[in-house]
Amino acid sequence: MLCIGHRGARGYAPENTLASIDLAIEQGATWIEIDIREHSGDLIVIHDKYLERTTNGTGHIYQHDLATLRRFTSENNQSLPTLKEVIKHVNRRAVINIELKDRASALPTITLLNELVSEGWKNDDFLISSFYHHALRDIKEIAPQYRVGALCASVMIDYARFADDLDAWSINLCSESVDQALIDDAHQRGLKVLVYTVNDPRLFSEFNAMGVDGVFTDYPQRFFEWQVQEK
């Protein structure tokens, strides 16, 4: 079962910062997940539309120009990184799950990934996920070589069919919505099952027994401590 550092190691360091990402990798995560939003033609790594929860800024991100946004910092005095900065910083130490928080970020993401692949990165260094399934369809139409993960917060009437229809690589499910029938249906369709956000070791055991392929966790260290105990 994969350990995917959720927004880096969010349980130990401010989310979506280079420091948080580094910590997740140091703790053993071979995948990390980050959130991006399009802004002025660039891609900013941030989860919320509003700045107050994760930075010392205030208001909506689109109330500020890009230069101003970059001056705001998190609790550990880290500025908001761009997607390109994160990828260059990770430097293939981990697979990066890029979650699109808006549809507008889809095409700029593909443009950037194509540039990086031409420099030596691999298509499989990335997974692009989103609740915006239209954005994932856009990506598969213009860049089918990239893996996409279809995010879902509930059990759909046709189980994992929606992800299959998107030619997704994975179905990324809320931990509250996972059941064995959904996992089995996804696997029968050739889809990986990744579950968010899992922080309780009891759930690591439960999802592992159900055949889940990976979990997003705020506490990578906790995951690997559980893994050692399981052995």
CATH assignment of the domain containing 222: 3.20.20.190
Mean pLDDT, residues 45-69 taken together: 97
Confidence grade of residue 231 (pLDDT, cut at 50, 70, 90): confident
Mean pLDDT, residues 72-100 taken together: 97
pLDDT greater than 90 at residue 51: yes
Chain position carrying tokens 């030596």: 120
* pLDDT for residue 16: 98
Which residues are bridge partners to 34 per DSSP?
A: 98
pLDDT greater than 90 at residue 215: yes
80, 61 contact by CB (below 8 A)? no
Q: What pLDDT digit, counting tens, does each position of 134-162 carry?
A: 999 999 999 999 999 999 998 888 999 99
* pLDDT for residue 131: 97
Of 192, 177, 92, which Cα lies nearest the Cα of 147?
192
Mean pLDDT, residues 191-203 taken together: 98
In this prediction, what percent of the chain has a pLDDT beyond 70?
Answer: 100
Domain interval for residue 220: 2-230
192-222 as b/e, with b when 16 or more CB fall inside 10 Å?
A: bbbbbbbbebebbeebeebebbbbbbbbbbb
Mean pLDDT, residues 164-187 taken together: 96
* pLDDT for residue 112: 98
- Work out how many domains the chain is built from and give that number: 1
* pLDDT for residue 39: 96
Quote the pTM value: 0.97
How far does the chain reach from its first CA to its final CA, in angstroms? 13
Mean pLDDT over each residue of the chain, to the nearest integer: 97
* pLDDT for residue 155: 83
pLDDT greater than 90 at residue 100: yes
Mean pLDDT, residues 30-50 taken together: 97
Mean pLDDT, residues 170-186 taken together: 96
Mean pLDDT, residues 84-112 taken together: 97
* pLDDT for residue 157: 87
* pLDDT for residue 90: 98
Mean pLDDT, residues 97-102 taken together: 98
